[in-house]
Amino acid sequence: MNRRHFTAFATLAPLVGFWPGAQAATEPVVLVLGDSLSAEYGLRRGSGWVALLSAQLAQERRALRVVNASVSGDTTSGGRSRLPALLAQHRPAVLVLELGGNDALRGLPLEMTRANLAAMARAGREAGARVLLLGMEMPPNYGARYAADFRRVFTDVARQEATGLVPFFLRGVADGPNPVALFQADRIHPNEQAQAQMRDNVWPELRKLLPRR
């Protein structure tokens, strides 16, 4: 290999991972699989709760890498279909499941939502990840019975699949003293001001599942 070829190889190799001794990132991964609530819908990039969580982990000097695989509009069926490839690619230490709200908004059967969440939790565990389920609740206009049944989907899956659980991901946002101030104009998606509260709702339960320092 002449000098010109060696120089070109040395310049490109670190970028593509071929340089002798180069290694892929080895930090344990926290994989977030969610919908628009986690995908920064309508927000400045880097201002959502997942980005705030990543910043908090860095501030606490925890050697963890947060991967946000959330897609706006996703359902539990969509997440279930995407999850196997994500698990194979990232091999997460912790899997955070933030899905189910769009199922309810689309009137999908609760049994389907329950089965999909359970399947994702099992897949995560079988891949070696600890699993955290973020529970959601429906507004009162959906009816008391439906709201209770929907809430129970998350508690049932968490119990049956031995996952961590945040009972209500939007606690202090959707049920706060002035919820209108914490939502975007569509009254569905929390605004930037609400993101720290959402991170704080997740953090206590997530912390229990993180690898030891």
Domain CATH code at residue 30 = 3.40.50.1110
- Domain membership of residue 132 as a residue range: 26-209
Q: What is the DSSP letter of 183?
A: B
CA 68 to mean position of chain CA atoms: 6
pLDDT at 56 (0 to 100): 96
- Tokens representing residue 86 in the block: 């994500």
Q: 115, 158, 154, 157: which is closest to 137 by C-alpha?
A: 154
Q: What is the DSSP letter of 211?
A: P
Nearest to 124 by CA among 150, 76, 85, 87: 87
Pairing of strands 94-98, 65-68: unpaired
The reported pLDDT for the residue numbered 166 is 98
Amino acid in position 131: V
Tell me if 84 is assigned to some domain.
yes
Looking up tokens 């892929």 gives 24
pLDDT digits (tens, 9 = 90+) for 64-100: 999 999 999 999 999 999 999 999 999 999 999 999 9
Structure tokens at 17: 């991972």
Is residue 132, in this structure, part of any structural domain at all?
yes
Residue 106 lies in a domain: yes
Integer Cα distance of 140 and 148 in angstroms = 10
**56 near 198, Cβ under 8 Å?**
no
Give pLDDT, residue 66. 98
How confident is the model at residue 131, as a pLDDT?
A: 98
Domain presence at residue 193: yes
Domains contained in the chain, number:
1
60 domain residue, yes or no: yes
In the block, tokens 């050697």 appear at 63
Alpha helices in the chain (DSSP H): 3-16, 49-59, 76-90, 101-105, 110-126, 144-160, 195-209
Residue 8 lies in a domain: no
- Both tokens assigned to 66: 């947060």
Answer yes or no: is 159 within a domain. yes
Angle formed by the axes of helices 110-126 and 76-90, to 10°?
10
- Which pLDDT score, from 0 to 100, does residue 25 have? 59
Q: What's the confidence (pLDDT) of residue 44?
A: 97
Look at residue 136 and tell me if it is in a domain: yes
- Residues near 201 by Cβ (< 8 Å), separated by ≥ 6? 166, 168, 169, 170, 171, 172
Please list the rounded mean pLDDT of every run of 10 residues in the chain (213 residues): 39 34 67 98 98 96 96 98 98 98 95 98 98 94 92 98 98 92 96 98 97 83
Q: Which residues are catalytic?
A: 36, 186, 189
Report the alpha-carbon distance of residue 202 to residue 175 in Å, rounded.
16
